[in-house]
Structure 1
Amino acid sequence: MPEMCRKTIIMPQAIHSTYQGYLDLLEIFQCYVDERNAYSEITMNFRGNTWFDANLLPIIYAYVEYGQTKYNIVSRYDNQLDCNLHRLLIRNNFAKLCFEMEHKPRNNETVVPFKIFRADSTYEFGVYIDAEIIRYFPDMDERVKKDLSAYIQELFGNAQIHGDCSFVYTCGQYYPTHQKMDFTIVNLGTTIKENVVDYLTDKKEIIPENCIEWAVEPEHSTKRINSGGIGLSLMHEFIYYNNGKYQIVSGNEFWELNQKNVCTEELTYKFPGTIVNIEIDQSDTNYYKYQENKKNDSNNIF
């Protein structure tokens, strides 16, 4: 074990919800999970950052929580009032929950506040989704809004069932200029690859090159009893027809559906859990005839 020491993380100029953005975050915050580099204190410096997709803040909190729980790492925020990101951090509740700073929301806010949920708080999460996300889609067909809320809540439920985690971290951001809503769900638990490999090994089946890609297929599930469901594939279908974006990061795997195009990549660094991000096009108000199968449980990826 190396001598305990301090470290300062310098945030890059911009972090977006892209493959490169995830690569940057996983590399920058690797010091929280790398057993070869044990730090007693890590300070985050955002002064040089001019853009940070707010929906990705749960990733930072997950690293902070991981480091504190496993290595007793104390995390600090270089509180610079002149930095561009500071106003966002105190508006969306992140600075308060992560750094115990004052929360200062403002009227006509476009943030979906950062929240920490116990993994079994399904009712509270459902209330949060309807109040903080669905309200941004006033012109969307009521049936579509109901479906969207249900699909997001299924993702939350899977974190507990298959991620075997205690908490789930969430945050979102609405971009009125582009009429886009981004929302991210993060947990520190068993990765998708771990679940899929264990399941397929027991079944004596071939391990896919990208386990997330296997998991998003209809009827694919790592459940040991009953048949697999279609919940995850319905979210996939929703985003496909909505022309939105759907991203999953788990372990060292990346999967993305963006504007109907699928991309899979291997990450240089592993994330110790699962990140799910969805981007919904507010301008799309159509109602799609999704496949219905109420008898099956939701598809499970975590």
Structure 2
Amino acid sequence: METGLAQRGSTSRNRLALGISALVFAALIGVLALGLVYGRTKLVGIVVFGFVAMMLGVLVSQLGEFATPARQIWAYGLASGAMLASAAALIAPKAIAQHPEYGGFAIAFGYLIGYAAHELGHLMTHYEMPINAATGELTLHALAAGSIMGVVYGALPSLTALFGYGIVAHKFPAGFTGTEAVKQADLPISVMIVPASAVAIAAIPLSIVTPDLSPIVKAIFFGVSAGVFAHVGIDMLPECSHVGSHSDSTGHGAVQCSREVDRLRQYAVLSTLLGAGAIFAMWQILAMG
């Protein structure tokens, strides 16, 4: 009987998740249309590009086979290393450039906000929630990033190769790691539409109604976004757990390791360094070009 109740609860949760995904996607279409009406074509192009980049990460997670511990280690490590490098090199400097102290404090608070979302998200595991903690953290970061785009719309660059690369460096690994966490939580993959759409939902309306803001306010927006994204990257760092332990479904890259645990830990370290190094290498190539 308890099994039947659990199955019904899971079915209700998944239906709610599908409903939320559909509503968010409808909201995405609405704000894209609003952006075109108000002449925010550059911003519409940027947020659509970001949505596609995140969905490509989702697609790789769906099509790839990451069931073995070694493959999970490499997948999480490369993605988390790339996310950390992106937060440190592509967002944090913008916060510091606007105002060093406020930007620095905002990065710290953003990281702590991500930490709070993760820890309090554990409380939600006691309930049949339609969105897991990892998806919630990614949505929080996306809303912060979208808010930045909205309030600094006039200063946004065109969608050049370097700017587009920065978007992919954020969204592709986020889409992959988020999907892996969603699968662990046994939720419909469609919930990834929520964080993928959040940038546009925040950015376009704010670009229409927000007046020019001070450097301090901009530093806070950039800093919070950098801090939250850094926490997501750290949260996804691969860790080995003992065989038979419960893998963390809230977002951490927990992998059940066998007797080859030492070798897998070496893979974990190497993969994160390679993920960060790949971001640096691509940035260097595009910056020099």
The normalised TM-score by structure 2 is 0.32
More helix per residue: 1 or 2?
A: 2
Query: Higher relative CO (CA 8 A, sep ≥ 6), structure 1 or 2?
Result: 2
More strand per residue: 1 or 2?
A: 1
